[in-house]
Each structure stands twice: as structure tokens, then as C-alpha cells.
Copies of this chain bind each other. A is one copy, B any other.
Amino acid sequence: MNKLEMTEAIMTAKSSMSVTWEEAGSAIGASPVWLASACLGMNSAPAKTAAAIAEYFSLGEEVVAALEAYPTKIWDQAVPTDPLIYRLYEVVGVYGETLKEVIQEKFGDGIMSAIDFSMDVAKEECPKGDRVVLTLNGKFLPYKSW
């Protein structure tokens, strides 16, 4: 079973169980964003978590193996077209240099890791319209001379 088939199996189970990523994550012991990324095939799950995910969705050994497999992370659109994803891309384009300025002033020459990294989505209720709050948390990696 490859990652695509795995995703389809999990999405079907999730839909028939009518659970959210938040509910599933809290039952399994994983954050909703990471859980969704693993189920969509963009992260591998540790053995124990893979077993817990498969059990939660009442799926078999093949799904466990597919969840544990190390993914090759490929995306087709250099510039994404879906409006939700494009807006994130736009943030990188508009604020990329700004973030470089502010982060490197605060931390020195280096980068925020996208590997030693976590992310969270929260809802901020607001009378003028609710707000999405994304939090990205990545280790600072300094450049070194040698």
C-alpha cells in the first residue's frame, strides 16, 4: 500500500466516523496539524503512533506500514493556485525579506528550521469575523564558519 492509497483509506474512515482532526489527534495523542500531515502522506509516523492511528480508524497492518514509510515530499505547483494556499505563499513573498531582517537581527545569521519544526492552527473569535492564528515554531540554526 502506497501513501496515496493510505490517505484514501484514512479519509474514508474519518469521514464515515464523522470525527475531526482535533478529536482524532486528542484520542491518538498527536497534534491535529501533524496528524493531518502524516495522514496526507507528508510525514512519517513513529511505529507506536502509526499503530495508534490505524487502530483509531480501524484500519489494518498495511496502513501502519504506509504511515511509517519515509515520504518523498513532492508538490507540483511552484506557485500554488488554491486561494487558501496561495495566501500563505503571498505572505512568504510579501514578508520574506522582512522576516529575514527581524529574525536575523534577533538571532544572528542563520535560519528557522523547517525540519525541527512544529505548527499549530487556532481560532480566535472576534465580533468582526473570526481569525485564523497559525503558529510556526522552528529551531534556529546558526551558520558557522569552518
Contacts and interface: CB of A to CB of B under 8 A. Distances in A.
Contact of A36 (B36, B102, B143): B102
Size category of the A interface is 35 or more
A90 to B, nearest CB: 5
Contact of A85 (B32, B46, B99): B99
A111 B44 CA distance: 13
Given A133-B136, A143-B44, A75 B80 contact: no
Interface string A62-81: 00000000101111011111
Contact of A91 (B20, B87, B114, B145): B114
Most chain B CB inside 10 Å of its own CB: which residue of A32, A119, A132: A132
A120 to B, nearest CB: 9
Interface in A4-44: 20-22, 30-34, 36-38, 40, 42-44
Given A44-B109, A109-B44, A124-B137, A73 B78 contact: no
**Copies of this chain in the oligomer:** 10
Given A43-B145, A102-B33, A87 B109 contact: no
A7 B34 CA distance: 31
B143 A115 contact: yes
Given A113-B141, A132-B138, A146-B31, A75 B91 contact: no
